[in-house]
C-alpha cells in the first residue's frame, strides 16, 4: 500500500492533536540517518525523530541488546519487582549526569511525565508550591509539563484549569534582544527579582525549571552570566534548579548534557527522548535527599523502566562512549555552523546561526535590521529540501532545525547541507510557489 493510502486511512482514525503539519511522510523503515517511505522514497534525516535517535535509526548494537533482552524478560511492573536492567541503568545515569553529589533515579515513559515527576519531587522536598518556568519553553503535554510550557497556544487552549502556582519568566534571547548579551542577562535576572518583589514570594518557590539550551523556541543559548546569576539567586532563596535535558541530553549539544556547558550542576535533571534511542523511557536523576523525600507509590508507573527499554538505554550509553559521539557532535556542529556562516555572507535571509553541537538553529529573517522571522521562507526551504530527499523541519516560526543523528556519515551531512543551500537559492529566486504554505505549516 502506498504512503498516500496509509495517510488517507489515518485521517479517519487518528486524533489530529498528535501530528504537526509538515510533510505527508509514512515511514516504512529507517536505518542510520536514512528514512524510507512506502513508495521507496528516501530521505536523509536532519531531525533525528526530534532528537530521539541520536545514535541513528536502528543501531545494530542497540538492536542486538534489545533482542537479547526480549528473549529474557519483556517486563515486570517496577512497583512490584526489580530487575538487573533498572539497577545497572540507574548506576550509569548517576555516573554520566552532572553533579558530584550522591544521586538517585526514578523512571517514567516520556519527557512530559518526567517533568511532572520533577515538579512533584521539588514540591515534596521543599514543602513549597510555586514553580517558575520560562516563556517559550516546551516541557511536554501531560498536565504538569503543559502547565510549565509556554510556547504554543493550541497546546493550552480549552485545556484549563492547569496546574496552579506556575509563573513564567523571560528566557534570554541574545539575538532579538535590543541589548548586548550581558545586558540581556541582567534584564532577565531583574525579571525574576521583580517577580519575587511583586507577586511571588521567593520563600514559596520550590524550583525553577530550565532547558539549559531552550529547544523548541528555536535553539536559544543563554549567556554564561545568566546561568551564574541564576545559580546565585536560587542558592540565596533555597530554590531548586531543575534542568530539563530531554532534548539537550545524550551528546546532542556536544557535551553529555548541556548543563555542563555552563558549569551547572542541577538539583534534578529530567531525561527522555534519546535516552533509549526510541524506546519509551524517561528518567529524573537528582540529589539523593530530594529523591528520597517521596514515598511509594508516588513514583509508580506500571510500564516504566521496561527492561527492553533499559537495555536499549544501556546500549545507547555504550555506543555514545565507544563511538565517541559527544566529540563527534561537537566537531560536526562546528563544521555545520561554519558552513552556514559562509552562506550567511551570500544570503540576506540568514539572520542568525546558533546552537551547540548538533542542536543548531538557523534563524531566517525578512531583513537583518528588523530581524522579523520569515516563516514562509522557512516553510518553502523545508519543502524544497523534502523534494530533494532531505527531511528538514523548522520551529519557532522561522528557525531551521538542524539536528541530524550524531552518527551521520560525512557524505550524508555534506549532501544535506548542499540540499539546503540549493533550496535557499531556489526560494530566493522565487522558484518555490506560495501553494506550499498551505501544506507545510510547521509550528
Ligand atoms: C525540552 C523538552 N522537554 C520535554 C519534552 C517532552 O517530551 P515527550 O514528548 O517525550 O513527552 C520535549 C519534547 O519535545 C522537550 O523538547
Atom index in ligand 1 nearest the CA of residue 112 equals 11
Q: Is 286 found in the same domain as 386?
A: no
Q: Is 273 found in the same domain as 347?
A: no
Last-in-domain residue among 298, 322, 346: 322
Report the pLDDT value the prediction gives residue 21, as an integer from 0 to 100: 87
Atom index in ligand 1 nearest the CA of residue 245 equals 1
Q: What distance in angstroms lies between residue 243's CA and the mean position of ligand 1's atoms? A: 12
SS3 breakdown of the chain: % helix, strand, coil, rounded to 5? 45, 15, 40
Q: How many domains would you assign to the chain?
A: 2
Atom index in ligand 1 nearest the CA of residue 282 equals 10
Pairing verdict, β 268-271 and 240-244: parallel
Q: What distance in angstroms lies between residue 242's CA and the mean position of ligand 1's atoms? A: 14
Q: Is 282 found in the same domain as 186?
A: yes
Radius of gyration of the chain (CA): 22
| Nearest CA-CA partner of 340 in 356, 352, 358 | 352
Q: Give the whole-angstrom CA distance, residue 63 versus residue 76.
A: 20
Please tell me the residue having the least CA distance from ligand 1 atom 8.
Answer: 111
Q: Give the whole-angstrom CA distance, residue 213 versus residue 30.
A: 28
- Are 152 and 443 in contact by the 8 Å Cβ rule? The answer is yes
Mutational pocket test of ligand 1: of 142, 246, 278, the residue with most ligand atoms within 8 Å of the beta carbon: 246
Q: What distance in angstroms lies between residue 137's CA and the mean position of ligand 1's atoms? A: 10
- Are 256 and 88 in contact by the 8 Å Cβ rule? The answer is no
Task: Name every residue whose Cβ is closer than 8 Å to that of residue 309 and which is 6 or more positions away in sequence.
Answer: 276, 279, 280, 281
Q: Is 140 found in the same domain as 22?
A: no
Taking only the tens place, the pLDDT of each residue in 128-187 is: 999 999 999 999 999 999 999 999 999 999 999 999 999 999 999 999 998 888 999 999
Mean pLDDT by 10 residues, the chain (443 residues): 95 94 95 98 98 98 98 98 98 98 98 98 98 98 98 94 98 93 95 98 98 98 98 98 98 98 98 98 98 97 98 99 98 98 98 98 96 97 98 97 98 98 97 94 83
Atom index in ligand 1 nearest the CA of residue 111 equals 7
Last-in-domain residue among 288, 322, 356: 322
Report the pLDDT value the prediction gives residue 339, as an integer from 0 to 100: 98
Q: Give the whole-angstrom CA distance, residue 358 versus residue 50.
A: 12
Can you give the CATH number for the domain in which 207 is found?
Answer: 3.40.640.10
Q: What distance in angstroms lies between residue 111's CA and the mean position of ligand 1's atoms? A: 5
| C-alpha of 296 from chain center | 29
- Are 287 and 263 in contact by the 8 Å Cβ rule? The answer is no
Can you give the CATH number for the domain in which 414 is found?
Answer: 3.90.1150.10
DSSP annotation string for 341-398 = HHHHHH-TTEEEEEEETTEEEEEEBS-TTT--B-HHHHHHHHHHHHHHTEE-EEETTT
Report the pLDDT value the prediction gives residue 178, as an integer from 0 to 100: 87
Q: Is 362 found in the same domain as 269?
A: no
Residue with cell 512530559: 112
Domain carrying residue 387: 3-55+324-439
Q: Is 311 found in the same domain as 374?
A: no
Q: Is 235 found in the same domain as 193?
A: yes
Q: Is 412 found in the same domain as 349?
A: yes
Ligand 1 pocket: which residues have CB below 6 Å? 50, 110-112, 115, 138-140, 211, 215-216, 244, 246-247, 272-273
Amino acid at each position: 500500500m502506498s504512503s498516500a493510502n496509509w495517510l488517507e486511512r489515518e485521517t479517519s482514525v487518528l486524533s489530529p492533536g498528535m501530528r504537526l503539519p509538515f510533510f505527508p511522510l509514512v515511514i516504512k523503515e529507517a536505518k542510520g540517518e536514512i528514512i524510507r517511505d512506502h513508495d521507496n522514497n528516501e530521505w536523509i534525516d536532519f531531525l533525528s525523530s526530534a532528537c530521539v535517535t541520536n545514535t541513528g535509526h536502528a543501531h545494530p548494537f542497540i538492536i542486538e541488546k534489545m533482542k537479547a533482552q526480549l528473549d529474557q524478560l519483556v517486563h515486570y511492573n517496577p512497583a512490584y519487582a526489580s530487575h538487573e536492567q533498572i539497577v545497572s541503568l540507574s548506576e550509569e545515569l548517576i555516573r554520566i549526569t552532572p553533579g558530584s553529589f550522591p544521586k538517585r533515579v526514578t523512571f517514567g515513559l516520556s519527557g512530559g511525565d518526567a517533568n511532572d515527576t520533577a515538579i512533584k519531587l521539588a514540591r515534596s522536598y521543599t514543602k513549597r508550591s510555586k514553580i517558575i518556568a520560562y516563556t517559550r519553553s516546551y516541557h511536554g503535554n501531560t498536565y504538569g509539563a503543559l502547565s510549565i510550557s509556554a510556547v504554543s497556544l493550541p497546546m493550552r487552549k480549552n485545556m484549563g484549569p492547569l496546574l496552579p502556582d506556575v509563573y513564567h519568566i523571560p528566557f534570554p534571547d541574545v539575538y532579538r534582544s535590543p541589548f548586548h548579551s550581558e545586558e540581556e542577562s541582567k534584564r532577565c535576572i531583574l525579571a525574576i527579582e521583580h517577580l519575587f518583589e511583586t507577586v511571588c514570594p521567593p520563600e514559596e518557590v520550590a524550583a525553577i525549571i530550565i532547558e539549559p539550551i531552550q529547544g523548541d523556541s528555536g535553539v536559544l543559548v543563554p549567556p554564561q552570566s545568566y546561568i551564574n546569576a541564576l545559580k546565585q539567586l536560587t542558592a540565596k532563596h533555597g530554590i531548586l534548579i531543575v534542568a530539563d535535558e530531554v532534548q539537550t541530553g545524550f551528546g546532542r549539544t556536544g557535551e553529555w548534557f548541556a548543563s555542563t556547558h555552563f558549569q551547572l550542576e542541577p538539583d534534578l535533571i529530567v531525561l527522555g527522548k534519546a535516552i533509549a534511542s526510541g524506546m519509551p523511557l524517561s528518567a529524573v536523576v537528582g540529589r539523593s535527599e530530594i529523591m528520597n523525600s517521596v514515598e511509594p507509590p508516588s513514583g509508580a508507573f506500571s510500564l516504566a523502566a521496561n527492561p527492553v527499554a533499559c537495555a536499549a538505554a544501556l546500549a545507547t550509553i555504550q555506543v555514545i562512549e565507544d563511538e565517541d559521539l559527544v566529540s563527534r557532535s561537537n566537531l560536526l556542529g562546528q563544521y555545520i555552523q561554519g558552513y552556514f556562516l559562509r552562506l550567511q555572507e551570500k544570503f540576506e535571509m540568514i539572520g542568525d546561526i546558533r546552537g551547540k553541537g548538533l542542536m543548531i538553529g538557523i534563524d531566517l529573517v525578512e531583513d537583518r535590521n528588523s530581524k522579523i522571522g520569515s516563516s514562509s521562507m522557512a516553510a518553502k526551504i523545508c519543502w524544497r529540501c523534502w523534494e530533494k530527499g532531505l527531511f528538514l523541519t523548522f520551529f519557532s516560526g522561522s528557525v531551521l532545525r538542524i539536528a541530524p543523528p550524531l552518527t551521520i556519515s560525512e557524505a550524508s551531512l555534506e549532501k544535506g547541507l548542499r540540499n539546503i543551500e540549493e533550496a535557499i537559492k531556489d526560494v530566493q529566486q522565487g522558484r518555490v510557489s506560495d501553494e506550499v504554505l498551505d501544506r507545510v505549516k510547521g509550528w
